[in-house]
A and B are shown apart, each in its own frame.
Chain A
Amino acid sequence: MTTAVAVDATITTGPFTVEARFEAGPGITALFGPSGAGKSVTLAAIAGLLRPAAGWVAIDGEVVADTTRAVHVPTQQRRLGMVFQHAALLTHRSPLDNVGLAVRSGPSASRRQEARRWLDRVHAGHLAASRTATLSGGEQQRVALARALAGGPRLLLLDEPFSALDQPTRRNLRHLVRDLVDEQELAALVVTHDLADITAFADHVVLYEPGRTLGTHAVRRGHADDVAALLGLAP
């Protein structure tokens, strides 16, 4: 598989340290493990929001962080899309503005058009001018997804994107993310501690235990027993 992202780094934040080592290609790779294992911290380091204490990160073959060579490409230049657990939308701007602010170039009219196109694509076009704060959790995540995609990212980072949502909404959004990843031929890393996320839409899973990664495994969609076997839960 071609490598969309590769990490071999020790990442420290406060008293917490995680040793992350994995590669991921196109498609959806789940980072799975208990809360506090360091999954979100890994995403933050890939995004450049944290600097690794040691090691390196490469996106699309480009080294974006390497402590031995003092490389640190700023977050702004890494061309990523990111979705957070609670959407993290600007409530003082409309959903359309939120997406429009992530479109990277062009005059404002064309940026708005592009934003509207993305909102339509995530089935949130009718929310374009709503008050952002009044949107439901699922609606906010759709807008956040449109925002993450609007910049034409080379890698999508989703940090527990569904954990605050109810089950039916989760199912819908998993389908949406799966469709978008396939149609844009994207690579996506999804932090989750919900097994159902993995069986429903992941191609690979990186297993975490507290403080480090254990390895990467391919999973077949819809085969819950694959993941159970990996975790030693199989009968």
Chain B
Amino acid sequence: MDDWFPLWLSVRVAFGATVIAGGAGIGFAYVLAKGRFRGRGLLEALVTLPIVLPPTVLGYYLLTNLGVNSPVGRAWEGLVGEPLVFTPTAAVIAASVSALPFVVRTARAAIEGVDGRLEAAARVAGHPEWRVAALVTLPVAARGLTAGVALGFARALGDFGATVMVAGNIPGRTQTMPIAVYDAVQAGDGSTARTGSLLLVGVAVVVLLAVTQLSARER
């Protein structure tokens, strides 16, 4: 493999997406775990959707909602001066959306697993709910939250369908590693396909091992 751009881009996109999906995902997880409000079921369904939708369908909706004729796309173009779709930023958004449900589901389980008496003790001591979350719930759930974010990173790194729909396949600009593997296979470039695939498998295995470790040490 002589072109390292796809790997470098994938790593950057995955980090960006991890920050976004991690922050939003832990927020959603907290609200879903603690909140009792109308529409909670619907919210849960919506954030889980990217797991079950075909990635191309997810990408299609992202494309129609972020494209040059969409309100978001126009607002972005007005601000930044170039369209949002078919840019590395679009790849980050696609990867974030794909990664979100993995963060939410894992983080939610971790938050629900926190011993309620720990939170009760903090409330009795006078701490308002946001401090209960900051002092007790989130730190106690930290391992599970980290596991969720790690899963999200792995998912973001491997995203293909949604990314190719909204960011396209522009070599040297939006072509991430999974897309480069696809291209290499199409072009009969076995060496690039093998190296790229091995790299992605390696990262995935390392992340999953770390997740297992994090979940195991929790008890």
Report A's interface with B, CB cutoff 8 A: 44, 47-49, 74-82, 84, 86, 88, 90, 92, 101-102, 104, 144, 147-148, 150-151, 157
Q: Is the CB of A76 within 8 A of B123?
A: yes
* A residues in contact with B120, CB < 8 Å: 44, 47, 49, 75, 82, 84, 88
Whether A76 pairs with B128 at a CB distance below 8 angstroms is yes
Give the Cβ gap from A180 to chain B, nearest Cβ, in Å: 17
Q: How far is the CB of B119 from chain A (nearest CB, A)?
A: 9
Contact with A along B116-131 (1 / 0, CB 8 A): 0110111111111000
Please determine whether B126 and A76 come into contact, CB atoms closer than 8 angstroms. yes
Distance to closest chain B CB from A122 (angstroms): 16
A86 to chain B, nearest CB (A): 8
A218–B204 alpha-carbon span in the complex (Å)? 66
A101 to B135, Cβ gap below 8 A? yes
New contact pairs (14) apart from A78-B124, A81-B124, A90-B140, CB-CB < 8 Å: A48-B123, A49-B123, A77-B126, A80-B124, A84-B117, A88-B118, A88-B121, A90-B118, A92-B139, A104-B125, A104-B126, A144-B121, A151-B126, A157-B124
Are B121 and A82 neighbours in the complex by a CB distance under 8 Å? Answer: yes
Check: B115 CB closer than 8 A to any chain A CB: yes
Closest 10 CB pairs of A and B: A102-B125, A88-B117, A75-B123, A82-B124, A84-B117, A76-B126, A88-B121, A88-B118, A92-B139, A80-B124
Contact B115 A88 (CB under 8 A): yes
What are the interface flags for B86-122 relative to A under an 8 Å C-beta threshold, 1 for contact and 0 otherwise? 0000000000000000000000000000010110111
Measured CA separation A97–B8 after assembly (Å): 43
* 11 interchain pairs, CB-CB under 8 A: A47-B120, A76-B123, A76-B126, A78-B124, A86-B117, A88-B115, A88-B120, A102-B126, A144-B121, A147-B121, A157-B124
Q: How distant is the Cα of A88 from the Cα of B122 in the complex, in angstroms?
A: 10
Q: Which of B117, B120, B121, B122 has the most CB atoms of chain A within a 10 A radius of its CB?
A: B121
| Cα-based distance from A150 to B124 in the complex (angstroms) | 11
